[in-house]
Amino acid sequence: QKEVEQNSGPLSVPEGAIASLNCTYSDRVSQSFFWYRQYSGKSPELIMSIYSNGDKEDGRFTAQLNKASQYVSLLIRDSQPSDSATYLCAVKDTGRRALTFGSGTRLQVQP
């Protein structure tokens, strides 16, 4: 069974700070990685996808991928209270067209 690991948190940061969310995965040949944001009681929303080693920036979000270390992270700059949510990391399975999700990290941004 492929695994995707995340610290459940909560990760608490002050408003305006950088929030750093981390994810490790077990399948070393995985090629596609995703970050989803899930507000309480709602469905997940895709915020970033990353396929190559290095950084990918989109507004206040930066995804970082290191395939050698089997590690993917999400940085949120200038964190806002509206960023308070659970962030799910997902990895595309090899051998089937499906994703494996981590259990999520709960982020709390304190005003």
Partner 1 sequence: DGGITQSPKYLFRKEGQNVTLSCEQNLNHDAMYWYRQDPGQGLRLIYYSQIVNDFQKGDIAEGYSVSREKKESFPLTVTSAQKNPTAFYLCASSITETRTYEQYFGPGTRLTVT
> Using the rule CB under 8 A, is 102 a contact of partner 1?
yes
Instruction: Identify the CA nearest to 4 among candidates 85, 101, 72, 110.
Output: 101
Instruction: Identify the CA nearest to 3 among candidates 100, 70, 68, 106.
Output: 100
Among 68, 69, 98, 111, binds partner 1 (CB under 8 A): 98
Q: d(Cα 37, Cα 8) in Å, to the nearest integer?
A: 14
Pairing mode of beta strands 71-76, 19-25 = antiparallel
Please, which of residues 54-93 interact with partner 1 by CB under 8 A? Answer: 88, 90, 92
The number of beta carbons lying within 10 Å of the beta carbon of residue 70 is 16
Closer to partner 1 by Cβ: residue 17 or 93: 93
Residue 33 CB, nearest distance to partner 1 (Å)?
10
Using a 10 angstrom Cβ sphere, with 0-12 exposed, 13-18 middle and 19 or more buried, the burial of residue 108 is: middle
Please, which of residues 12-51 interact with partner 1 by CB under 8 A? Answer: 32, 34, 42-46, 49, 51
> Using the rule CB under 8 A, is 97 a contact of partner 1?
yes
Residue ranges binding partner 1 (CB under 8 A): 1, 4, 8, 32, 34, 42-46, 49, 51, 88, 90, 92, 96-104
